[in-house]
């Protein structure tokens, strides 16, 4: 099924200076010295579109007056388009701050048109913009409906007959080619697209040109539509300017999420997953310039979704103490891997998947620090206390290297689940080692002789059993030991 989403940003000229999630004291955007866009606070003070600068300052002396910035608007629209690439690779930029998305092939993946529209709205809101969203079987139809303010009943516009009825009710001046002839259309009593379609086409073409008829034919599905899709760049590096100096690191999370949404779209478009990201906190420039503060997040497993990255950054920023106010943010993707698709097993493992466990470990590392979340790594040494070292959980060791470090003849021998940090000397009673009760040897001895390069060790290890049938791992020293009174030690306990 062919389905398009039209995503209009009607407040884009204003929200590039004052995002929707910012508290605004009264912002006004001027174009050619007249009000183009204004905030709710400015409207409540009496400011109206088309008003001159002097009138604005008379009503609101403390108003924040900005000149319209087309480069900022183009940059913001591209950032939204980059974030939308996570839903479909077919995203095109249209006129008047609008994006067109061909999502017909994405509906089942994201749970249907309603669920997809909710996610799109939430992402645009997180980016700091107000969205007007509409769905239609044609791109120009979705564009016109979105420019008109969208519709609550998205599902009703999935059929062509319904789209035709809705388009017929729209204002004629939503079509840009019709605006130069607004006075003529008003004079003949033509106010809607439905009335426009009933006019004779040859006369309409001679007076208004071919562009208006082409737009109508595309919107009503009478002619094919061709668009140039937005392509993701080869590398990802995004940056935003903050609208105030931030002294608290936790307040930077909203801006960081804007960058992460762009990263998610870029990763999905390039079919990549990221292993390490760097968030750069930019400080004051000029005489008091300071180098940026870099917050690095390393992942145990490559990821391409923003929810997990947001949680990790939230933990890192909560522990960060800023040495200077932050005025800008930058995000870079350092290590990338091809995206590995999720595999659904016939019988899912209880307690979550391997990906869930790795995400939990990454969250612990972000909260406690890399030096406090460790994993065991075997070493090529026969001595039990030297056969293992603790390394950070994010330090990767290949299976081949891990198996090569393990002595092959040791891997098949029984080892206790709990190895004591320091062996405990045992008492001798009736020529038998004693630990709560006399211990009976339940296995043949295993002799370990190693460490000639840093202190030789020669021991005979046994599995011993107590009267309560608990099993212990004990050894008897041979070097320097008296044969009549051998020294016994407890080194581990079996589960």
- For residue 204, what pLDDT is reported? 92
Between 460 and 348, the higher pLDDT residue: 460
SS3 for 102? Answer: strand
Between 362 and 143, the higher pLDDT residue: 143
The pair of structure tokens assigned to 441 is: 């040897």
Residue 428, φ and ψ in degrees, nearest 5 = -115, 125
Looking at the predicted structure, is the pLDDT value of residue 320 above 60?
yes
Burial of 330 (0-12, 13-18, 19+ CB in 10 A): middle
- For residue 397, what pLDDT is reported? 56
How does DSSP assign 385-396, residue by residue? GGSEEEEETTS-
Between 368 and 144, the higher pLDDT residue: 144
Centre a 10 Å sphere on the Cβ of residue 224 and count the other Cβ atoms it contains: 7
Centre a 10 Å sphere on the Cβ of residue 444 and count the other Cβ atoms it contains: 9
Q: What is the pLDDT of residues 76-119, one digit of tens each?
A: 999 999 999 999 999 999 998 899 999 999 888 899 999 999 99
Which DSSP category does 231 fall into? P
Centre a 10 Å sphere on the Cβ of residue 120 and count the other Cβ atoms it contains: 23
Quote the radius of gyration of the chain (alpha carbons, Å): 34
Handedness of CA 411, 417, 420, 424 (dihedral sign): negative
Distance between CA atoms of 179 and 188, rounded to whole angstroms? Answer: 15
Torsion angle, alpha carbons of 62, 64, 65, 67, to 10: 170
- For residue 480, what pLDDT is reported? 56
**From 19-28, 34-43, 216-225, 483-492, the region with the lowest mean pLDDT:** 19-28
User: What is the reported pTM?
Assistant: 0.72
pLDDT averaged over the chain? 85
Q: What is the pLDDT of residues 427-478, one digit of tens each?
A: 888 888 999 899 998 888 888 887 666 666 788 899 999 988 899 999 988 7
The pair of structure tokens assigned to 59 is: 């009503």
Residue 8, φ and ψ in degrees, nearest 5 = -105, 140
Best CA proximity match to 43, nearest among 34, 51, 33, 54: 51
Q: What is the pLDDT of residues 214-226, one digit of tens each?
A: 999 999 999 998 8
Torsion-angle region of 26 (φ positive above 0: left; ψ -120 to 50: alpha; else: beta): left
Q: What is the pLDDT of residues 149-203, one digit of tens each?
A: 854 444 456 789 999 999 999 999 999 999 999 999 999 999 999 999 999 999 9
Highest mean pLDDT among 7-21, 44-58, 307-321, 455-469: 44-58
Tokens 């466990």 belong to: 357
Which DSSP category does 233 fall into? P
Which DSSP category does 413 fall into? S
**From 7-16, 409-418, 477-486, the region with the lowest mean pLDDT:** 477-486
- For residue 478, what pLDDT is reported? 72
Domain boundaries, the chain: 4-16+69-75+88-219, 237-342+351-365, 375-411, 418-493
Distance between CA atoms of 122 and 27, rounded to whole angstroms? Answer: 24
Can you tell me the mean pLDDT for 339-348?
Answer: 62
- For residue 462, what pLDDT is reported? 92
Distance between CA atoms of 297 and 263, rounded to whole angstroms? Answer: 14
Distance between CA atoms of 79 and 9, rounded to whole angstroms? Answer: 12
Residue 274, φ and ψ in degrees, nearest 5 = -105, 145
With residue 346 as reference, give the H or E element that holds it.
Answer: none
CA atoms within 13 A on the CB side of 38: 22
Percent of the chain with pLDDT strictly greater than 90: 43
CA distance readout (Å), 115 to 146, 155, 284, 333: 18, 11, 42, 29
Looking at the predicted structure, is the pLDDT value of residue 3 above 50?
yes
User: What homologous superfamily does CATH list for 237-342+351-365?
Assistant: DNA polymerase, Y-family, little finger domain (3.30.1490.100)
Best CA proximity match to 212, nearest among 138, 140, 150: 140
For helices 201-208 and 210-219, the axis angle rounded to 10 degrees is: 130
CA distance readout (Å), 455 to 136, 379, 389, 449, 452: 79, 17, 18, 11, 6
Contact 91, 4 (CB under 8 A): no
CA atoms within 13 A on the CB side of 164: 8
* Residues sharing a CB contact under 8 Å with residue 168, sequence separation 6 or more, in sequence order: 192, 193, 194, 197
Can you tell me the mean pLDDT for 407-434?
Answer: 80
């Amino acid at each position: 099924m062919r389905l398009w989403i039209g995503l209009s940003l009607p407040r884009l000229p204003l929200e590039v200076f004052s995002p929707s999630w910012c508290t605004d004291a009264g912002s006004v955007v001027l174009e050619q010295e007249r009000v183009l866009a204004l905030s709710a606070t400015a409207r409540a003070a009496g400011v109206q579109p088309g008003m001159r600068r002097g009138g604005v300052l008379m009503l609101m002396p403390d108003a924040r007056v900005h000149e319209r910035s087309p480069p900022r608007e183009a940059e913001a629209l591209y950032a939204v388009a980059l974030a939308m690439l996570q839903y479909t690779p077919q995203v095109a930029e249209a006129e008047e701050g609008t994006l067109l998305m061909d999502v017909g092939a994405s509906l089942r993946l994201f749970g249907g048109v309603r669920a997809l529209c909710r996610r799109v709205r939430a992402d645009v809101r997180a980016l700091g913009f107000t969205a007007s969203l509409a769905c239609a079987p044609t791109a120009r139809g979705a564009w016109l409906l979105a420019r008109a303010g969208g519709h609550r009943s998205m599902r009703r516009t999935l059929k062509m007959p319904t789209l035709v009825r809705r388009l017929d009710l729209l204002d004629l001046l939503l079509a840009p080619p019709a605006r130069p002839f607004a006075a003529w259309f008003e004079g003949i009593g033509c106010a809607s697209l439905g009335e426009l379609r009933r006019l004779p086409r040859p006369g309409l073409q001679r007076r208004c040109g071919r562009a208006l008829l082409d737009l109508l034919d595309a919107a009503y599905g009478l002619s094919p539509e061709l668009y140039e899709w937005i392509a993701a760049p080869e590398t990802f590096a995004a940056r935003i300017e903050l609208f105030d100096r931030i002294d608290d690191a936790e307040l930077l999370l909203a801006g960081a999420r804007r960058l992460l949404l762009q990263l998610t779209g870029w990763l999905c478009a390039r079919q990549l997953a990221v292993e390490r990201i760097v968030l750069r906190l930019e400080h004051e420039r000029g005489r008091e310039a300071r180098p940026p503060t870099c917050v690095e997040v390393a992942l145990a497993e490559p990821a391409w979704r923003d929810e997990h990255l947001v949680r990790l950054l939230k933990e890192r920023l909560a522990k960060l103490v800023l040495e200077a106010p932050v005025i800008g943010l930058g995000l870079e993707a350092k290590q990338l891997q091809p995206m590995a698709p999720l595999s659904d097993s016939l019988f899912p493992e209880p307690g979550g998947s391997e990906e869930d466990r790795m995400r939990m470990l990454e969250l612990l590392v972000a909260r406690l620090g890399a030096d406090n979340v460790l994993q065991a790594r075997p070493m090529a040494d026969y001595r039990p206390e030297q056969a293992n070292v603790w390394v950070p959980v994010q330090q990767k060791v290949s299976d081949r290297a891990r198996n090569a470090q393990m002595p092959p003849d040791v891997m098949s021998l029984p080892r206790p689940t709990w190895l004591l940090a320091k062996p405990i000397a045992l008492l001798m009673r009736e020529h038998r080692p004693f630990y709560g009760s006399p211990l009976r040897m339940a296995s043949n001895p295993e002799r370990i002789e190693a460490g000639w390069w840093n202190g030789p060790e020669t021991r005979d290890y046994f599995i011993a059993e107590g009267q309560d049938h608990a099993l212990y791992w004990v050894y008897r020293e041979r070097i320097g030991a008296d044969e009549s009174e051998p020294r016994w030690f407890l080194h581990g306990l079996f589960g």
